[in-house]
Structure 1
Amino acid sequence: MDVGTGAVLFDKAADEPTAPASLAKLMTAELVFRDLKSGKITLDTQFPVSEHAWKTAQGGASMFARLGSSIRVEDLLRGLIVQSGADAAIALAEGIGGSEESFAAMMNKRAGDLGMTHSHFIDCWGSPNSAQTVSARDLAKLAQHVIATYPDYYHFFGEKEFTWSKVRQLNRNPILFNEVNGDGLKVGNLPDGGFNLVGSAASGERRLIVVILDAKSAKDRAEEARKLFNWGFRGFEVKDLFALDEQVGAARVYGGAKAEVPLLTEAPVRLMTARGASERLTGKIVYSGPLLAPVEAGTTVARLKIYHGATLALDVPLKTGEAVELGDLSQRAKDAAFELGLQVFNKTLNYAFRSGRKATETATAQ
C-alpha cells in the first residue's frame, strides 16, 4: 500500500482471515497511543505487572518484567514493540481496560471504527486462539492509521534494541536492518510455523506499507518484504485523478427540493500506477440511496472505488457538495409515486423472470 494515496499496488488473498500472532500487539499499541494523545495517560504513568501478565510470558516472548513491579508506560511500550513481550502487553491492557477481557472488547470496537472488517481479537498479545483473526488489508489500514495519527509515538517501532532487567533484546523486524531502510512496524510468528510482518519504509516523499502473512520462514519473510519494497518504490508513479472538492458524480435525493446532490472529494485523489502500464482504470460510486431529505452539506454519504483490473486499488469517501432542503408536498408526493412505481416494476419484472425461468425449466424437462 502507498501511504500517501492509499492505493494498493499489489494484493493476494488480502481479505482472507488468518491468525495474527504478535501482530495483535499493533492494535494494543494503537489503543495506548490513543490514550496518550488524549491525555488520559502519560509516558510516565505506571502500571503494575500482575501474576497473570507474569505467568503468560513464561516460556514465550517477554520483556522479563518482575512480578508485582510497576513500570512506566514508556518502558512497557518498548517491551511491547521492541521485545514483543506478552507481559508488557497484558500490563498495558489491564492498566487501560481493567482486565484483558475488557481490553479485548475495546480492541474489537476500535477495529470496527477503523474499518477492519475481517479482524477479531481475543487478547492483547496474540495467542494462537482460532477465533483470533486479522487480514492483510486490515493490518495495512491499521498501519496507515497509526503512521498518520501518532507521529509522536511511531518512533517506538523503529528502535532496534531494548534492555530491561539487564536482558538486552534486538527488534526482530528485518526491514530495520536491510537495504530498504524500513522504520517500523512489527513481526509475529505462529507456533506451527507461519511468519508474519507489517512493515513501513520511506523513500523521498513516498512511504509504503508491506504486509506479509504466513511466510514459510523468517528468511522468506525478510526476502519477500525486501522485494516488495524495492518493486513498489521503483516501479510506480503517481496519477492525479481528482482535486480537493472536485465533483465526481451525484446522488439521488428522495423528498428533497432538488432531485440530486453533487458528490465531492474530501481530499485530493491520487493513485499509484505501474510505470508504462496500459491497464485500464475503472471506477464506481457506491452509496445507499436515494438519500432522504433534508441533506446537510459536507456529509460523507458515498465512496469512490477505483480498480486496476479486478483489484480494488483505491477506496475513498465522497461528501455532499451542498445542502438539500425538504421539498414541498407536491415534490414529496411525486418522489413517493416514483418510488412506489419502481417497487411495482421490480416486483413485476422479478415475477416475469421467475415465471419465464419456470417455463424454460419445464420445457427442458419435457
Structure 2
Amino acid sequence: MSIAGHSNFAFKTILQLMLLSVLVVGAPSAATANAKYAGVVVDAKTGRTLYADHADALRYPASLTKMMTLYLTFDALKSGRISKSTRIPVSRNAAAEVPTKLGLKPGQTITVEQAILSLVTKSANDAATALGEFLGGSEAGFARMMTARARDVGMNSTTFKNAHGLPNSAQKTTARDMARLGMALRDHHPEYYDYFRTRSFTYKGRTYGNHNRLLGRVKGVDGIKTGYIRASGFNLVSSVETGGRSIVAVVVGGRSGRSRNAHMIDLIGRYLPKASTGPDRFVIDRPGTGALVASVRLPKVDAPVPSGRPSVETVTAYAAGDGTGANNDAVATAIARPKAPVKAVAAIDRIATGSTNSEGWVIQIASMPSKVQAREILERTAQKAPALLGDSSAFTERFTMEGQIYHRARYAGFETKTDAWDTCRALKEKSISCYAVPHDPNQQS
C-alpha cells in the first residue's frame, strides 16, 4: 500500500472512531457513567414514564430551583396578591447575590414582570432573591413556602433552601420531581406559562438572551429552564408539545451545556414518538393559591406540628373558598393528626340525581372532617353559582389520610378536562376555590 493509501486508510479509521464515540456518548445508557447524572422523560398526557435513569436519586437542582420561585410568583399573580406592575424592593442581601444577575442595587425596585423575565432568560439570582423575600417575608420564609408547595404538587423528595439555586447542601431534588414541577407549571398556570418561551429580555438598555438553547431550534420545545452549579453539573428541563404528543424531559448532571443539550435532543427524538396521542388523562392536583398556605402546611423551623383536631371553623376557613388556604385533601392533614388509625373505606354520597361518570372529570370544592360540612359547602357553592353548576351533580366522597376520615365535596358531570377547568376558572372569579381531577369512583387515599 502506498503512503497516500496508508494516510487515507488512517484518516477513514479516525473518522469512524469519532462517529462511534459520538453515537455512544449520545446514547442514554452512557450517561450513567457520570455520577451526577439523572434523567427522566414523562408522557404529560398519561403520566407514564417513558425513560428513567437514576430518576429518583437526590441531586442538586441549581437554577431549576427558579421554576418553583416562578410557580409561587404565578400563584400570587393569580390570587391577586400582586400584579405584573407591582414593584419589588431590592435588599442588600438580594443585591449581594453572585452572578448570574442583573446587577440590582440595594434600595432600588424592579417590577414583578421584569423579575419574571430576568429569571426565565438570564436566570438572575439577585431578582430571584428579591422576589422570594417579597413573597415570603424573608429568604428562609420563602424557602419554607417553596418546600410546602413542592409537597402540594407531589414533589415528595424535594427540599428548597433558597429562591435561586445557588449552592446549599440541604437543597435537593430528583429528576422525577422536576418533571412533575414542569407539568404543574404548564397545567396550573397556562396563562403565565408563555413566559418560558421568551427568547430575550431587555433591562436598562441591555438585552439578555435565554440560556435555553433548544428554544426555536428543536421542534415543539416551549421551555422550561436550565441550571448549573459545580455540584450539580448542567441541568435542563424541557417541555415538548407537537404532533398531538406532549412530554416533559429532565437531564441533570451534564458535563457541559453542549453535551447536556445534545443528550436532551437525543431523548426527545427517542421518546416523543412513544408518547400518547390520545386525550389528556393525567393531572396533578391543583393546590390553592391563598397567602396563608405555607404557614398552615409547613410550620416555622423547629415548631411542633399541632396534634389536636382543628375546629370546624378553622377547617371551613381554609376549605370554603375564602382565599386563605389551599383546597385539597392535604389541608386537613397538615393541621391535624389522628389519634388512632381508621380503616380506609370509600363511600360516595350523591346529593343530587345524576351520574358521576367514571370516564369524566369532577371539580373538588373542599375536603372536610364531616359529611355534613362537605354537603353544606356544596349547597352554598350551588347557591353562589347556579348557572355554572346547574348541569352537574353534587356528591361527597369519603377517604382517609394518615388514619383520619375526611369527606371531599365535589361536582361531577364534566366530560373533558377543559370543561372542568373552564368551570373552575369561572368559579374562582366568584371567589370559590376549586380544582379539577379525573373521576375515579373507587378512589381511596
* TM category, shorter: 0.5 to 0.7
Within the alignment, does 1:166 sit opposite 2:224 as a pair? no
Cα displacement (A) at 1:5? 1.8
In the alignment, what sits opposite 1:29? 70
Q: How does 1:141-152 map to 2 (within 5 A)?
A: 141-152=180-191
Whole-angstrom distance in 2 between the partners of 1:177 and 1:294: 47
Residues in 1 aligned to 2:203 and 2:171: alpha-carbon distance in whole angstroms = 29
* Residue 108 in structure 1 maps to residue 157 in structure 2: no
Question: How many matched pairs?
Answer: 274
Within a 5 Å distance, the mapping from 1:214-253 to structure 2 comes to 214-238=253-277, 253=345
2:161 to 108, 122, 138: 122
Offset at residue 321 of structure 1 (A): 5.7
Query: Where does residue 128 of structure 2 map in the other structure?
Result: 89
**Paired residue for 2:218, among 179, 187, 212?**
179
Distance in 2, Cα, partners of 1:320 & 1:234 = 32
CA distance in 1, matches of 2:189, 2:281: 27
Counterpart AA for 2:211:
R
Name the residue aligned to 1:2.
43
Q: 1:266 to 1:116 in 2, by over 3 A?
A: farther
- Preserved contact between residue 46 and residue 281 of structure 2 (Cα < 8 Å): no
Structure with more strand by fraction: 1
1:96-153 deviations in Å (ceiling 9; x for gaps): 1111111001001111111101100110001211110010111111110110111111
Deviations 1:172-229 (A, max 9, x none): 1121142334111100012256110011121132221110000111111101111111
Indicate if the aligned counterparts of 1:298 and 1:321 stay in contact, CA closer than 8 A.
Answer: no
Match of 2:100 in 1: 61
Which of residues 59, 65, 68 in structure 2 aligns to 1:18?
A: 59
Q: Give the drift of 1:11.
A: 0.9
Q: CA deviation at 1:267?
A: 5.0
For 2:344 and 2:57, the matched residues in 1 are separated by 34
C-alpha contact 1:63 1:84 (8 A) present in aligned 2: no
* 2:112 match: 73
Percentage of identical aligned residues: 33
Alignment of 1:297-336 (within 5 A): 319-320=440-441
**Quick one: which amino acid aligns to residue 79 of structure 1?**
S
| CA distances 1:24-57 after superposition (whole Å, capped 9, x unpaired) | 1100000000010111110011111111101113
Which moves more between the two structures, 25-34 or 228-237?
Answer: 228-237
Classify 1:96/1:90 alpha carbon distance in 2 versus 1 (closer, same or farther; 3 Å): same
Q: 2 CA distance for matches of 1:294 and 1:116? A: 23
Alignment match, 1:39: 80
Match of 1:50 among 91, 103, 113: 91
The one-letter code sitting in structure 1 at the alignment partner of 2:176 is R
Contact between 1:195 and 1:221, CA under 8 Å: does it hold in 2?
yes
Q: Give SS of 1:34's match.
A: helix
1:297 CA drift (Å): 8.5
Secondary structure in 2 matching 1:106: helix
Distance 1:79 1:156, change over 3 A: same
- The letter for the 2-side match of 1:38 is S
Answer yes or no: is the 8 Å Cα contact 1:19–1:134 preserved in 2: yes
After TM superposition, the score normalised by the length of structure 2 is 0.55
Question: How far apart are 1:241 and its partner, in Å?
Answer: 12
Q: How far is the alpha carbon of 1:295 from its aligned partner?
A: 7.3
What stretches of structure 2 of length at least 5 have no aligned partner?
1-41, 283-342, 349-355, 363-398, 412-436
Report the alpha carbon displacement of residue 255 of structure 1 after superposing the two structures with TM.
11
CA displacement at 1:65 relative to structure 2: 2.2
User: What residue identity is the alignment partner of 1:37?
Assistant: K
Counterparts in 2 of 1:16 and 1:288: CA distance versus 1, 3 Å: farther
Runs of 4+ aligned structure 1 residues displaced above 3 Å come to 235-243, 251-256, 262-268, 291-299, 316-322
Which residue of 2 is the match for residue 202 of structure 1?
241
Structure 1 contact 254–293 (Cα < 8 Å) conserved: no
Give the 3 Å change call, closer, same or farther, for CA 32–239 of structure 1 in structure 2: closer
TM-score between both structures, scaled by the size of structure 1: 0.67
Paired with 1:175 and 1:76, the residues of 2 have a C-alpha distance of 22
1:154 to 172, 180, 193: 193
Q: Is the 8 A contact 1:180 1:230 kept in 2?
A: no
Amino acid at match of 1:168: T
Q: Displacement, 1:296?
A: 6.9
Task: Specify the alignment match of 1:99 in structure 2.
Answer: 138
Q: Distance in 1 between matches of 2:406 and 2:64?
A: 44
- Secondary structure of 2:247's partner? strand
**2: CA distance between counterparts of 1:157 and 1:242?**
24
> Take 2:280 and 2:127, find their aligned partners in 1: how far apart are those partners?
44
Higher Cα Rg, which structure: 1
Counterparts of 1:268-307 in structure 2 under 5 Å?
A: none
